[in-house]
Amino acid sequence: MTFFYVILAAIFAVFLVNFMKRQSEPAKLERYPNEFRKYHAETLDLHATEIVSEALIEKLNKALDIDYMEKVNTEFRLKHPRDSQIRVNQAWRELKRYLIMAAVFGKVEMFNSVIDELWHIMLDYGQEYNEFCQTFIGRAIQHHPHSQPVFKPEERTLFDFYYIQLFTVDSPSIQKWGKFFKHDKGLTFLRDFETMELEQLKEKYMRKPTSAQAERTFECFTSQFKENRPLKELNWQKNYNQTDYAAPAYFTYASTDDFDSEFKDIFGKEPTAVSSESGHAVHGGDHNSSHDSSSDSSSSCSSCSSCSS
């Protein structure tokens, strides 16, 4: 008899939970769009560096229609109701940074399952997504699927190499992507950008075709390795503390034999733990939300690389 009451109580509990979910969804459908509009201005600020063309950022923000973003945002929050809009805006920022990289460079892999999920929801609205891509760079940013997450340390190192030069590295960056250059310091890429001519670099690394704004960003990116590198290495710690710009630290880090020491907050190997949500490894950061943890540092998510074709 006791067992019968336990089963009955369990059934009632499931019914009550489902009932409460159904009752609260209309309220969420009203609250989430309001919160998105309230904090929308935050998603317009990518905290970029001087390398990224302001015109490219403006074009990205203009291409991402607010009504389109609101629909995607609402669907994402319904799937992740524990995440506040402010926390979701961190995912928006990193997705937009990823889209900047996809506009500037050739194939760029995705290394965070949550940001990839936000991108997938964008793709579900096919017409809006195509209009976004056409307005942004005049060509579709394609998804190329893998059936399972694929171990790609070289592609992850290239991702880090791009990211460190283009954007600031703050706490949300490391929460989403984990530390940078865990497997390799990117010396092969560094030598290419130091020694190859601009047209050779464009042929090997730049997305083709792309927008004029993205091409200017690529050209500015290459200058960091020729004209400005000696200056960038000076006072890297002060520079990073004041601006969150980690490129000067990277140049110094690349010239040392140490993977940790004074660079341990930004670069280098770190302990891993298994994430319950995706099976990827989780690296440090604030785990109040499971969606702040990064995917395995060298595992590209399923169905998540962009391509210039």
Position 260 confidence tier, pLDDT thresholds 50, 70, 90 = low
Residue 228: DSSP 8-state: S
Q: pLDDT digit string (tens) for 166-184? A: 999 999 999 999 999 999 9
Neighbours of 55 (CB within 10 A): 14
For residue 120 the two structure tokens come to: 């997938």
Q: At 167, is the secondary structure helix, strand, or coil?
A: strand
Any idea how long the chain is?
309
Residue type, 188: T
Strands 273-274 and 150-151: unpaired
The Cα 26–Cα 78 span in angstroms is: 11
The Cα 135–Cα 61 span in angstroms is: 10
Q: pLDDT digit string (tens) for 82-136? A: 999 999 999 999 999 999 999 999 989 999 999 999 999 999 999 999 999 999 9
User: What pLDDT is recorded for position 258?
Assistant: 62
The owner of tokens 């989780």 is 282
Query: What stretches of the chain show up as alpha helix (H) in DSSP?
Result: 2-38, 40-43, 54-63, 66-79, 85-104, 113-124, 126-137, 153-166, 171-177, 187-195, 198-205, 212-223, 229-232, 236-243, 247-254
Q: What is the pTM of this model?
A: 0.83
Position 233 confidence tier, pLDDT thresholds 50, 70, 90 = low
Beta bridge partners of 144: 305
Residue 269: DSSP 8-state: -
- For the chain, first and last CA: distance in Å? 66
Backbone phi and psi for residue 119, each to the nearest 5 degrees, phi listed first: -65, -40
Annotated domain spans of the chain: 25-306
User: What pLDDT is recorded for position 27?
Assistant: 73
Burial class for 153, CB neighbours closer than 10 Å (0-12, 13-18, 19+) = middle
Residues 6 or more apart from 232 whose CB is under 8 A from it?
Answer: 224, 247, 248, 251
Residue 11 has pLDDT above 70, yes or no: no
Angle between helices 54-63 and 212-223 (to 10 degrees): 140
Q: pLDDT digit string (tens) for 26-42? A: 777 789 999 999 999 98
The Cα 18–Cα 106 span in angstroms is: 45
Work out the percent of the chain whose per-residue pLDDT is above 90.
57
Angle between helices 153-166 and 247-254 (to 10 degrees): 130
Half-sphere exposure of 253 (CA within 13 A, CB side): 27
Strands 305-306 and 281-282: unpaired
User: What pLDDT is recorded for position 281?
Assistant: 31
Q: At 48, is the secondary structure helix, strand, or coil?
A: strand
